[in-house]
Structure 1
Amino acid sequence: MKNLLIWDIDGTLIQGRGIGRRAMDKAFLSLYGIEEGFKDISMAGRLDAVILNDAFNAHSITGRNTKKYFDIYCSYLKEEIDKLTSPIFAPGILLLLEELNKRDDTLCVLGTGNIENAARIKLAFHDMNKYFPTGGFGNTEAERWEIIDEARINASKLCNTVFKPENTYVIGDTPKDIECGKILNIKTVGVATGPYSPEQLQESGADYVFKDFTRYENFIDILG
């Protein structure tokens, strides 16, 4: 195995049209009686556990039960996904993943701020979990780069190999994803299918920037 691709989810693999935020708000209302608990809290490129802690602090919540909250959140997330009537995968992503899956020199894993259960629920809608056997997730209050490093470590354990930095790529739609790659000295790929433009991702220092993956062969070309 030569190439390791570490993928963000929201805005990169899927365009969820607010399903995550709605589910988080509903869970917060259910558990704490507060509407729009995440209204003024930034979510893009951040970890679920950190986002939840921000909401706890913003509303001075005592008796915090993170596990119970996330269990309720995942139930609402499933409900939100069941309501969907149109695809949420990002442009070109399914064809790209299928092509990558044919290669015996490339492994795709997740590096996401989602807790693992939420990540798997979101990807299950388009049967995408089969492409990502392991990863790093936002279950704890860690730094974003630590999640990417966790994904790299888990991938190495899975394949019993060490992936070289020059063959390891973090792929995401925010400058936070690019920053993680720089911290870990690995390649960075920005894709403008989230809230940031190609120019903003380029300015953040991404090694490669794509408007989307409609022409997926251009992405495959960078792997050699």
Structure 2
Amino acid sequence: MGGGLLVLWDIDQTLIKTNGVATEAYAEAVLETVGSTWRGDMTFNGLTERAMAVRVLRMHDVDPDPELLTLFLANLERSLLSRAEATKARGYALTGALAALQALDAESDVRQSVLTGNIRTVAEMKLQAFGLHSWIDFPIGAYGDDEFERNALIPHAWRRAEARYGRTYAPAETVILGDTVRDVEAALAHDAAVVAVASGSTSVADLRDAGAEVVLDDLADTGRVLAAITEATAAVARR
């Protein structure tokens, strides 16, 4: 692809779907942490785990002070990890996800990791469940336990990539692939390239309205995915 790229993938609704497992884990964590039965809402696409935890606690009329939030996140992480088999049994990798990861791995000038709202251990578990982990460089990713706002995650990936490989990636050499408006906003906040994928609940039109110049319906066509990454980096160069 030329020049070297850092490709950062969203996980949920972009590479995989887990079909309600997260809701069950949150319900268990709420019960364990504050003793309330579940009456939350998990429709806030693109939030970090930390931001989602705050919203869920407030939905249960609990003030998420730092100590309680830390406890809740620990209980949530344990609850999610205990559902590894359920994730594997009920979820699936989206069409084209494996082929896209493999194709990028074959490019000598590309490193790929994740930019995800998931806690790192949960991100690793989810991708391992569907055999997608081997192509992801987890140590240089950015995760939902790094920051509250998704927009603040990209600098973590840049810092980790530089520390691990001695290579600084410019915004135009960084590509975010995700399915939500928040993925698009996170890329644009740092002048990075973005390929939006309408594989979740956000429409092509809404992704374009958010500022994504390159939008795919899905990852099914590997050649198109690679071309989209090239188009997205070219769009950044034109800004």
Cα distance change of structure 1 residues 28 and 198 upon mapping to structure 2, 3 Å threshold: same
CA distance in 2: counterparts of 1:216 and 1:170, whole angstroms: 16
Kindly state the Cα deviation for residue 112 of structure 1 after the two structures are TM-superposed.
0.8
Kindly state the Cα deviation for residue 61 of structure 1 after the two structures are TM-superposed.
3.0
Kindly state the Cα deviation for residue 162 of structure 1 after the two structures are TM-superposed.
1.6
CA distance in 2: counterparts of 1:183 and 1:156, whole angstroms: 20
RMSD (Å), alpha carbons: 2.1
The answer (yes or no) to whether the contact 2:30–2:57 under 8 Å persists in 1 is no
Give the structure with the larger helix fraction.
Answer: 2
- AA partner of residue 196 (structure 1): T
Q: What TM-score, normalized to structure 1?
A: 0.89
Kindly state the Cα deviation for residue 166 of structure 1 after the two structures are TM-superposed.
2.0
Kindly state the Cα deviation for residue 41 of structure 1 after the two structures are TM-superposed.
5.4
Q: Which residue of 2 aligns with 1:190?
A: 196
Kindly state the Cα deviation for residue 204 of structure 1 after the two structures are TM-superposed.
1.4
Q: Which digits, 9 at most, give the CA deviation of each residue in 1:27-77, with x for residues without a partner?
A: 11122221225x235431001111112233333436743344333323332
CA distance in 2: counterparts of 1:210 and 1:175, whole angstroms: 14
Cα distance change of structure 1 residues 10 and 58 upon mapping to structure 2, 3 Å threshold: same
Kindly state the Cα deviation for residue 210 of structure 1 after the two structures are TM-superposed.
0.5
Q: How many residues align?
A: 223
Kindly state the Cα deviation for residue 169 of structure 1 after the two structures are TM-superposed.
0.8
Cα distance change of structure 1 residues 56 and 85 upon mapping to structure 2, 3 Å threshold: closer
CA distance in 2: counterparts of 1:212 and 1:54, whole angstroms: 29
Query: In structure 1, the residue corresponding to 2:11 is in which secondary structure?
Result: coil
- AA partner of residue 72 (structure 2): Y
Cα distance change of structure 1 residues 105 and 98 upon mapping to structure 2, 3 Å threshold: same
Q: Which residue of 1 aligns with 2:128?
A: 124
Q: Which residue of 2 aligns with 1:22?
A: 24
**Matching of residue 80 in structure 1 with residue 83 in structure 2:** yes
**Matching of residue 57 in structure 1 with residue 35 in structure 2:** no
Q: Which digits, 9 at most, give the CA deviation of each residue in 1:80-136, with x for residues without a partner?
A: 331343551121000110111111100111111111121112111023222222211
CA distance in 2: counterparts of 1:56 and 1:6, whole angstroms: 29
Cα distance change of structure 1 residues 89 and 193 upon mapping to structure 2, 3 Å threshold: same
CA distance in 1: counterparts of 2:146 and 2:193, whole angstroms: 25
Q: Which residue of 2 aligns with 1:43?
A: 44
Q: Which digits, 9 at most, give the CA deviation of each residue in 1:151-196, with x for residues without a partner?
A: 2221232221122322211111001110111110111110011111
Mean Cα deviation higher: 70-79 or 146-155: 70-79
- AA partner of residue 198 (structure 1): V
5 Å-filtered alignment, 1:96-111, equals 96-111=100-115
Percent identity (aligned): 24
> Among 142, 146, 150, which residue is 1:144 paired with?
150
- AA partner of residue 186 (structure 2): C
Q: What TM-score, normalized to structure 2?
A: 0.84
Stretches of structure 1 that go unaligned for 5 or more consecutive residues are: none
**Matching of residue 69 in structure 1 with residue 67 in structure 2:** no
The answer (yes or no) to whether the contact 1:29–1:36 under 8 Å persists in 2 is yes
Cα distance change of structure 1 residues 115 and 103 upon mapping to structure 2, 3 Å threshold: same
CA distance in 2: counterparts of 1:61 and 1:172, whole angstroms: 31
Query: In structure 1, the residue corresponding to 2:196 is in which secondary structure?
Result: strand
The answer (yes or no) to whether the contact 1:113–1:144 under 8 Å persists in 2 is yes
Stretches of structure 2 that go unaligned for 5 or more consecutive residues are: 231-239
Query: In structure 1, the residue corresponding to 2:130 is in which secondary structure?
Result: coil
Cα distance change of structure 1 residues 53 and 223 upon mapping to structure 2, 3 Å threshold: closer
CA distance in 2: counterparts of 1:207 and 1:157, whole angstroms: 31
